[in-house]
């Protein structure tokens, strides 16, 4: 949560659905075969950078204590407010026209909270032909790339990253002694130890056995636990 992400996806122009993806019902079709590359480039540019995005109606956002997708599927009107997200890269890497529809292969780098289906919807709306998402693959989350992932059939305990490895990759690492690990777990501060953060707001504390003690943060010149793991955690 909160980390930037990269997606590879296929957007279909010329068809709008009620869910902004291929699962939903088609609500509009428009001939998109005449859309020029320059028009697409202009539309993509308008959806790049810091933008205000209205999430897809069929989303997990809560409205009045209920998920938006539950309201939508119950036939109730759902109005979601725009939220600011950052799309740092929105690149068209391929296209294919089939009859009246135009499929775009794109790569998107974006902040956490960005709705990729909404990008497809908004690009199609801006071009006047409607659009929806037909394929999506997440390839990058923060420091983790799909190239280093294990295949489904190969997943076992040895293939999984340890909590210490994950936390260190995301937050950076602070090595602590066994006594310091004990103190942190007991809620005690490490006096004059904030310098170990090297300017980071927080880091993963790792004990001499390579186990994740928890997440530590600055308290003046000291280090204090913001979150602790069980001593048995690997």
> What HEC string does 34-45 produce?
CCCHHHHHHHHH
User: Given this model, what pLDDT does residue 197 score?
Assistant: 95
User: Given this model, what pLDDT does residue 231 score?
Assistant: 66
Q: Looking at beta carbons, which pairs linking 22-26 to residues 24 or more positions away fall under 8 Å?
A: 22/132, 22/133, 22/134, 24/58, 24/132
Task: Let me know whether 36 and 89 are in one domain.
Answer: yes
User: Given this model, what pLDDT does residue 71 score?
Assistant: 64
User: Given this model, what pLDDT does residue 159 score?
Assistant: 80
Q: Within a domain: residue 153?
A: no
User: Given this model, what pLDDT does residue 141 score?
Assistant: 96
Nearest-angstrom CA–CA distance, 34 and 112: 34
Name the residue range of residue 124's domain. 5-144
The pTM assigned to this predicted structure is: 0.83
Overall number of domains in the chain: 2
Q: Within a domain: residue 151?
A: no
User: Given this model, what pLDDT does residue 173 score?
Assistant: 95
User: Given this model, what pLDDT does residue 208 score?
Assistant: 95
Task: Let me know whether 103 and 140 are in one domain.
Answer: yes
* Contacts of residue 42, Cβ cutoff 8 Å, sequence gap at least 6: none
Q: Looking at beta carbons, which pairs linking 42-48 to residues 24 or more positions away fall under 8 Å?
A: 43/123, 43/126, 43/127, 44/90, 44/91, 44/92, 44/106, 44/123, 46/126, 47/87, 47/90, 47/119, 47/122, 47/123, 47/126, 48/87, 48/88, 48/89, 48/90
Task: Let me know whether 112 and 77 are in one domain.
Answer: yes
Task: Let me know whether 10 and 123 are in one domain.
Answer: yes
Nearest alpha carbon to residue 43 among 137, 126, 151: 126
Partners of 152 in beta bridges: none
- State both tokens at 92: 């068209």
Nearest alpha carbon to residue 107 among 140, 81, 80, 83: 140
Mean pLDDT per block of 10 residues along the chain (234 residues) reads 94 95 94 97 98 82 68 68 94 97 98 94 97 97 92 82 93 96 94 94 95 95 91 55
CA 5 to chain centre: 5
CATH number at residue 174: 2.30.130.10
Nearest-angstrom CA–CA distance, 12 and 32: 9
Q: Within a domain: residue 150?
A: no
Task: Let me know whether 99 and 182 are in one domain.
Answer: no
Nearest alpha carbon to residue 91 among 142, 18, 41: 41
pLDDT tens-digit profile of 58-103? 666 776 667 766 666 766 666 778 899 999 999 999 999 999 999 9
Task: Let me know whether 69 and 185 are in one domain.
Answer: no
């Amino acid at each position: 949560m909160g980390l930037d992400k990269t997606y590879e996806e296929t957007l279909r122009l010329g068809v709008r659905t009620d869910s902004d993806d291929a699962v939903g019902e088609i609500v509009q079709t428009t001939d998109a075969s005449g859309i020029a590359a320059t028009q697409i480039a202009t539309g993509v540019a308008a959806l790049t950078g810091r933008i205000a995005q209205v999430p897809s109606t069929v989303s997990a956002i809560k409205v009045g204590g209920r998920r938006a997708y539950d309201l939508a599927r119950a036939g109730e009107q759902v109005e979601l407010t725009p939220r600011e997200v950052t799309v740092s890269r929105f690149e068209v890497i391929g296209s294919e026209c089939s009859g009246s529809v135009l499929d775009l292969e794109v790569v998107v780098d974006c902040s956490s909270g960005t709705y990729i289906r909404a990008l497809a919807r908004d690009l199609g709306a801006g071009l006047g032909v409607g659009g929806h998402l037909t394929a999506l693959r997440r390839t990058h989350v923060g420091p983790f790339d799909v190239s280093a992932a294990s295949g489904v059939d190969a997943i076992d305990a040895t293939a999984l990253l340890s909590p210490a490895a994950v936390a260190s990759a995301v937050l950076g690492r602070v090595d602590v002694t066994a006594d310091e690990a004990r103190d942190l777990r007991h809620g005690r501060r490490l006096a004059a130890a904030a310098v170990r953060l090297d300017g980071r707001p927080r880091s993963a504390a790792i004990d001499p056995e390579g186990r994740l003690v928890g997440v530590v943060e600055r308290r003046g010149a000291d280090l204090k636990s913001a979150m602790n793991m069980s001593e048995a955690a690997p």
